[in-house]
Amino acid sequence: MVILNIISIIIAIILFSIIVIFHELGHFWLAKANGIKVNEFCLGLGPTLFGVQRGETKYSIKLLPFGGACIMEGEDESSGDDRAFNNKSVWARISVVFAGPFFNFIMAFIFALIIICSVGYDSPKLAGVIEGYAAEEAGIKAGDEIVKLNNTNIHFYREISLYSMLHEGETVDVTYLRDGKKHTTTLKPKYDETTKRYLYGFNVSGKRTKPGFGKALLYSCYEVKYNIYTTIEGLKMLCTGAASVNNLSGPVGIVKNMGDTYEQAVSMSGVWLGILNMLNWGVLISANLGVMNLLPLPALDGGRLVFLIVEAIRRKRVDPEKEGYVHLVGIVLLLLLMVVVMFNDIRNLIV
């Protein structure tokens, strides 16, 4: 059991590293495509454990296995090199900065495609309805497929649960398919004392639908969209006070949870299911990082994009020194947040 736990944590760290390096590859490839000099491309943070020089770029592995960087000439300092980042056109720089988060979404799509091609997706087709609830009273029955709740399109059963949670207690117009025809009815959820939740009365079998490759491509896009949406909703809850910083998990907590998921899946159904569970985590983390990095906050890719977009509109660059101060403040605040999150992770491990 101890050996399995160690293996699961190693696999989680490797997956986390792959996600980070793919993000940085986005910056790297677009930098090279735009003729920007890349001084170092590294995985991890802190002192260098191993490094090799290939042409103008040093490729290295750092001590701490979290994070990574694509360090470009003239990115955070002035440089007279024609190939320096800040000496390129504003649109070239925008493409390089945006490429990192965009590659996160590409990686999430790839992971989702592997999962859906292997085991399918959780179809919103009902196995039945719960007696005494609105779905039964409205005549909904086993085999019906939920396709829309109010104006929200439904592709996975998870989306029904998410909608119910975000719109707790609200009456909803439900569109469902039966024998290829669409039907619409209105449901008022009923509070369930056992689950302490409002329920429409849907019952799902838990079986997954395995589509053809063409449909798998489409549903992989839906999967990425779903994870982007849940990330944004989570941020809204954080901003409105519905969730607190204590609910956040950093690298330590994420790796621990990933390891636990892998261990449970392997013990129940074998290594392949464990790997698929890891890929499922990969979809979530990749989409999450893509969204987080696009937030218009200093030091993040989104913060840099704000300055670049302002420059494109004004046709004049923002004072580099002032921009540097803004990003410095952002880095300090992010580091403080990381300390708080890591403290919570460690506390949760101890408790």
Interval 105-154: pLDDT, tens: 999 999 999 999 999 999 999 999 998 899 999 999 999 999 999 999 99
CB 248 within 8 A of CB 144: no
User: Confidence band (pLDDT; 50, 70, 90) for 245?
Assistant: low
SS3 breakdown of the chain: % helix, strand, coil, rounded to 5? 55, 20, 25
Catalytic residue among 24, 73, 75, 263: 24
Q: What is the mean pLDDT of the chain?
A: 86
Active-site annotation holds for 323: no
- Residue 143 — left, alpha, or beta (φ > 0 → left; ψ -120 to 50 → alpha)? left
Predicted confidence at residue 338, as pLDDT, reads 64
pLDDT at residue 2 tops 70:
no
Label residues 62-84 b or e (16+ Cβ within 10 Å = b): beebbbbbbbbbbbeeebeeebb
Q: Cβ(175)–Cβ(158) under 8 Å?
A: no
Structure tokens at 226: 């779903």
Report the pLDDT value the prediction gives residue 178, as an integer from 0 to 100.
93
Indicate whether 4 pLDDT > 50.
Answer: no
Per-residue pLDDT of 296-327, as tens digits, reads 888 889 999 999 999 999 988 887 777 777 77
So where are the chain's domains?
6-118+279-350, 122-209
Higher-confidence position of 165 and 329:
165
pLDDT digits (tens, 9 = 90+) for 59-110: 999 887 777 889 999 887 788 889 999 899 999 999 999 999 999 999 999 9
User: What pLDDT, on a 0 to 100 scale, did the predictor assign at position 328?
Assistant: 76
Among residues 336, 289, 330, 333, the alpha carbon closest in space to that of 76 is found at 330
- Encode pLDDT of 178-233 as tens digits: 998 999 999 999 988 888 889 999 988 778 899 999 999 999 999 999 999 998 98
Nearest to 262, CA basis, from 273, 250, 249, 251:
273
> The domain 122-209: what is its CATH number?
2.30.42.10
